Structure 1
Amino acid sequence: MTVAPVIDQLDRPLGVLRLSLTARCNLACPYCCPDAKEPEGLLNLEAQLAVIRAACRLGAHTLRLTGGEPLLSDRLWPLLEQLAAGRTDPSDPLHQLRQLTLTSNGILLTPQRALQLKALGLDRVTISLDGADAISVARMTGLPGEARTGERLLAQVLRALKAARAAGFDPRLGQLKLNSVIQNGVNQDQLIPLAALAREQQLELRLIEYMDVGNRNGWTEQQVVPAAEMIARLHRHWPLEPVGRAHHATANRWRYRDGGGVVGVIASITEPFCGDCNRLRVTADGLAFTCLFANEGLDLRRWLMPRPDHAGLMAVLTAAWHGREDRFSELRAQLGSPSPHAEMAYLGG
């Protein structure tokens, strides 16, 4: 199979497809504000595979399955089965996928599901956790004051990490990571406890600046804890040395000098990395977004329903990427916040 990588207006190739399986979540994190129900017209399995194969033909080498909470979707398992079969066939565009990952809050990640994910060829699991104690977990999952619920959720996430590790997702190989959003005035006190937890679990922790995605979360710049400040605070506890940010990656990484592992920071607000962004997002109902901060998407359903028009889909995605010039984070001050602004859970983060 011949791959013809597409390049946008800023010479950025398409490399990563983030496919959302659902906009629903079993948590209510206030920085994300997920929907309570699915949008209409969800892509079926045939349409999902058509989108993935088209992206692969255009150069995508990584597929990230997201939500909402993707483990809520009963469409996850049939999709993984088809992806596993296609990746082993050199004539299938899916053979181009070098990495298949899933992002989850971990609540539904049982030992059985972790083993299924591994058996179906998933290469990496990223778990989201924004607090290291019951009260903080309750607050960050939209359940303030519910300490007992926070204890239960934290215990479930820790069990999920154990299950993923037992299933063969090796954190030393980057196959199991921990994501944490740090919000000033809300959970900034959890920075050191989360880092201590990640060090204890030998996990790479990725600290994420609170972002202005969507209209529901009440974002203000004062709520952002800058990446440089987070690294400085960590450095005072455990001295760090820079590793850097790989080309097209989101995280700028640092290594603990005492051998305690690696920590990354995703600084979309204070240190934007638009210049080499290679990600295309497709929502669960088939809208393609070329930027996390975009205010509108391209509706692909015309080329997907009732049956995929593969040539038409290739043409429209090629044109969309060729015309892409998004760099909202770099131009945030000049552009202001676009309106309407798609929500994070709908876009898949």
Structure 2
Amino acid sequence: MTFLPRNRLLSLEEIATIAERFIERGVRKIRLTGGEPLVRRDVVDLTRWLGAHLGKGLDEVTMTTNANRLADHAGDLFAAGMRRINVSLDSRDPETFRFITRHGDIDRVLGGIAAAKKAGIAVKINMVALKGLNDQEIAPMLQWCGEEGFDLTLIETMPLGAIDEDRADRFVPLTAVMDDLQARFPLHPADHRTGGPARYWQLGETDTRLGLISPLTNNFCAGCNRVRLTTEGKLFMCLGHDDQVDLKAAYREGGIAAVDDALDVAMLRKPARHDFSIEREAAPAVSRHMSVTGG
């Protein structure tokens, strides 16, 4: 693990100030993601700071988490204004989960999910479909989500960062997954939208929605309005490109006016689409891993 000097990271105040500049521009939803946001000691304070803008230009503050520390923070997050979270959970089988995460404790994660539900936070499970690892668990995961009242979003593996194996060996097209699920479950298209790239289906008479994020079999770039700010202050305009604008340097050198100018530049440089392709495993579309910018 690499520990960065404090001055290389954005402070809570700097993150909040930059977030306020986005809100001034009409951004209505902010998601705290990672890496893992709950390892940051001041994450609840940051949530409170952002939550103060709810109803005053901001509609929602959400989070994507691995849920390892969620049981410790669920009540505070709800009190700060968070009403919805995404939990990254690729398997409920203890051994498979430990293999995928390299160290994870599935009981701790499930405990965090249960704590969020008890606190009144709506839970959506994010599951990356992985051939030969968890593809046989997709239908049971949807069944479990329906029973628990959770939404489920399935995600195709993306060519981000170098890994130890060929991604093509793990790639599962969600078109094939949906053929199987529709044969097993009563699924019908839903008009629900969260501002993200997922397309949704309703699970029978339950409240559970099934979402699909398929960057390879069904490009979603035309509907993308997301940008991602790292803890080091780099603003990435697209998951599929390395182009970025340094908002930390802009703020520290020129204050709020410089941030506004940098945001003008960044919005003009947002690309029309990503450059993902499952055929190019030896050379990932971008060198950074998902944990650098979040999903």
Calculate the TM-score normalised by the size of structure 2.
Answer: 0.90
Distance 1:277 1:126 in 2: 18
Q: Which segment is superposed worse, 198-207 or 248-257?
A: 248-257
Task: Return closer, same or farther for 1:231/1:300 CA change in 2, 3 Å cut-off.
Answer: same
Residue segments in structure 2 that go unaligned for 5+ positions in a row: none
Q: Check conservation: 1:303, 1:312, Cα contact below 8 A.
A: yes
Q: CA deviation at 1:155?
A: 1.6
Structure 1 match to 2:68: 107
Q: Check conservation: 1:134, 1:154, Cα contact below 8 A.
A: yes
Q: CA deviation at 1:244?
A: 5.1
Structure 2 match to 1:135: 95
Q: Which of 49, 72, 81 is the aligned partner of 1:82?
A: 49
Structure 1 match to 2:257: 311
Q: CA deviation at 1:116?
A: 0.3
Distance 2:112 2:288 in 1: 30
Q: Which segment is superposed worse, 290-299 or 66-75?
A: 290-299
Task: Return closer, same or farther for 1:38/1:317 CA change in 2, 3 Å cut-off.
Answer: farther
Q: CA deviation at 1:257?
A: 2.9
Distance 2:35 2:176 in 1: 29
Cα deviations by residue, 1:251-281 (Å, 9 ceiling, x for unpaired): 1111223547321111111111101210010
Distance 1:65 1:282 in 2: 10
Q: Check conservation: 2:241, 2:286, Cα contact below 8 A.
A: no
Distance 1:158 1:247 in 2: 24
Residue 202 of structure 2 corresponds to residue 255 of structure 1: yes
Which amino acid is the alignment partner of residue 63 of structure 1?
A: I
Cα deviations by residue, 1:211-270 (Å, 9 ceiling, x for unpaired): 111223645334221111111111222132222573843111112235473211111111
Structure 2 match to 1:121: 81
Q: Which of 53, 66, 86 is the aligned partner of 2:20?
A: 53
Which amino acid is the alignment partner of residue 117 of structure 1?
A: L
Distance 1:248 1:333 in 2: 29
Q: Which of 37, 40, 60 is the aligned partner of 2:2?
A: 37
Structure 2 match to 1:156: 108
SS in structure 2 of the partner of residue 96 of structure 1: coil
Larger RCO (CA within 8 A; separation ≥ 6): 1
Distance 1:202 1:215 in 2: 36
Residue 249 of structure 2 corresponds to residue 302 of structure 1: yes
Task: Return closer, same or farther for 1:138/1:191 CA change in 2, 3 Å cut-off.
Answer: same
Q: Check conservation: 1:199, 1:260, Cα contact below 8 A.
A: yes
Cα deviations by residue, 1:293-344 (Å, 9 ceiling, x for unpaired): 21242222222227x611110111112102322411478879x956752221
Q: Check conservation: 1:274, 1:330, Cα contact below 8 A.
A: no
Residue 172 of structure 2 corresponds to residue 225 of structure 1: yes
Structure 1 match to 2:293: 347
Matches within 5 A, 1:266-281: 266-281=213-228
Task: Return closer, same or farther for 1:331/1:162 CA change in 2, 3 Å cut-off.
Answer: closer
Q: Which segment is superposed worse, 61-70 or 73-82?
A: 73-82
Q: Which of 165, 169, 178 is the aligned partner of 2:117?
A: 165
Task: Return closer, same or farther for 1:87/1:239 CA change in 2, 3 Å cut-off.
Answer: closer
Task: Return closer, same or farther for 1:65/1:168 CA change in 2, 3 Å cut-off.
Answer: same
Q: Check conservation: 1:238, 1:258, Cα contact below 8 A.
A: no
Q: Check conservation: 2:251, 2:258, Cα contact below 8 A.
A: no
Moved segments of 4+, more than 6 Å: 330-334
Q: Check conservation: 1:132, 1:197, Cα contact below 8 A.
A: no
Q: CA deviation at 1:85?
A: 3.1
Q: Which segment is superposed worse, 230-239 or 251-260?
A: 251-260
**RMSD over aligned Cα, in angstroms?**
2.4
Q: Check conservation: 2:188, 2:203, Cα contact below 8 A.
A: yes
